[in-house]
Structure 1
Amino acid sequence: MAPYTGLTMIRYAITSRALYPGSEQKKQAALIAESSRWIAEGINFIQLREKDLPAAEQAHLARKILRTIAFSSSPTKLLINSRPDIALATGAHGVHLTSSPDELTPAQIRTLYAVADQEPPFITISCHTLAEVQLACQNMVDAILFSPVFEKPLPDSRPIPGQGLNQLQAACSIASPTPVYALGGVTLQNASSCLAVGAAGIAGIRLFQFAAAAK
């Protein structure tokens, strides 16, 4: 059924410097080093998701990642979580949105990029229900992160139950032809089952850190 395979699977890495030990300076340095590895490995997307940092520090991290992408002539695209202003200021490739009604719409973000004479941005959005998937498609996003697909363990509380592959399949069906990336509890072992029900790729915070560490 699915047109996607392990060879065509999109890989979408989401940053979290909280995963790294040490001081704030060391955490940010580790984030940059990890991003450089992702770029070297040809990861399709990196979402900079450091929402607690001041805008200037987010922009500093974004510029470092973008310099690495440019230097290596990598196809990797950098998206900024919920901050089109930072994305525009740094020349990032696009923006990731939540499904919150307080977010700018994809149309508004594309207008901002056009006014700034920038290339059209790549816009992804997080969806947790089929209704959100339908709205995202109406708003003409470029890709959807649907989550959580599998149970998501949390270090300090009860795990978040996954919605399952049937719900992911329904999301992919509703979204088509907009690609859907599976998020939440996804591993390299269960990625193929996500592709089998129509997902175009996989996304995660810990997924690619752990994958790199295991090599």
Structure 2
Amino acid sequence: MSLLPYTLYLVTGRYTFDEEAFLKRVIEACENGVTMVQLREKDITAADYFKLAQKVKAITDRYHLPLIIDDRVDICLAVDASGVHIGDEDLPVDIVRQLLGPTKLIGVSAKTVDRAVEAERLGADYLGTGAIFPTKTKDKAPLTSLETLAAICEAVAIPVVAIGGIKEHNIKTFAGSKIAGLAIVSDIMTAVDVAQKTNKIRSQIDQVIGRSETDDIESK
């Protein structure tokens, strides 16, 4: 599995934006360094989720980027997204694999080494680990230490993406880490200038993680 798609993993949030403004921000992020997009919607009907996912997929397809759907296996299948991301309260990993088949990506939230190892064994393609820093996206999310993040990276062979409160100013915290990439929500979605912010974050990540397309190709 290529590590490159996970480098700058945008997780969407609509905040107070209308649909047009939201989609414009997704486009600007995709144009300026995002390598993967997760559409995350919690309070929305299935019909509206499907319609929005279709529109976001048209964007990610235009920029040849993977689209991951948060939680909803049905929406993933309905729009033929690249995969789904699931948490502890969603369907079991092995059942999701049965439903999606062998080619779709399955991301799993893993806050402990045990959960990470189990998720890999059951068929996960990558892990999302956090929250590393306090985040308003999930107010009650317990923090995951950098030591636990490092232990998870050592325990599994699949890519690990750090998430939770990650912003441009704290990216250097991950210097020397074995993570495959960083998931960003508010620092991109609520930026005054999404294009400029995405460019800056991507540049920071490339410097800190030290992974390029050339490195990725040579590691295969």
Query: Share of identical aligned residues, percent?
Result: 27
Corresponding residue of 2:74: 85
Structure 2 residue corresponding to 1:127, chosen from 70, 89, 110: 110
Deviation of 1:164 (Å): 2.6
RMSD between aligned alpha carbons? 2.6
Deviation of 1:39 (Å): 2.0
CA shift digits 1:101-144 (9 cap, x unpaired): xx333333333334xxxx71111111222222121111121110
Larger CA deviation: 28-37 vs 186-195: 186-195
Question: Would you say 1:45 and 2:36 are equivalent positions?
Answer: yes
Corresponding residue of 2:96: 109
Corresponding residue of 1:97: 86
Corresponding residue of 2:24: 33
Question: Would you say 1:180 and 2:160 are equivalent positions?
Answer: yes
Q: What TM-score, normalized to structure 1?
A: 0.78
Alignment of structure 1 residues 127-206 onto 2, 5 Å: 127-150=110-133, 152-154=134-136, 162-175=143-156, 177-206=157-186
Contact 1:42 1:76 in 2 (8 A): no
Contact 1:183 1:203 in 2 (8 A): yes
Could you tell me which amino acid in structure 2 is paired with residue 168 of structure 1? L
Could you tell me which amino acid in structure 1 is paired with residue 95 of structure 2? Q
Contact 2:6 2:161 in 1 (8 A): no
Contact 1:125 1:141 in 2 (8 A): yes
More helix by share: 2
Deviation of 1:195 (Å): 4.8
What SS does structure 2 have at the residue aligned with 1:189?
A: helix
Deviation of 1:169 (Å): 0.7
Cα 1:166–1:139 change in 2 (3 A) is same
Contact 1:145 1:180 in 2 (8 A): yes
Question: Would you say 1:64 and 2:51 are equivalent positions?
Answer: no
Give the distance between the partners of 1:212 and 1:13, measured in 2 at CA.
16
Spell out structure 1 runs of 4+ moving beyond 4 A: none
Give the distance between the partners of 2:26 and 2:178, measured in 1 at CA.
27
Could you tell me which amino acid in structure 2 is paired with residue 20 of structure 1? T
Unpaired runs of 5+ in structure 1?
none
Give the distance between the partners of 1:85 and 1:44, measured in 2 at CA.
24
Could you tell me which amino acid in structure 2 is paired with residue 182 of structure 1? A
Unpaired runs of 5+ in structure 2?
197-220
Give the distance between the partners of 2:68 and 2:141, measured in 1 at CA.
26
Q: What TM-score, normalized to structure 2?
A: 0.76
More strand by share: 1
Cα 1:153–1:143 change in 2 (3 A) is closer
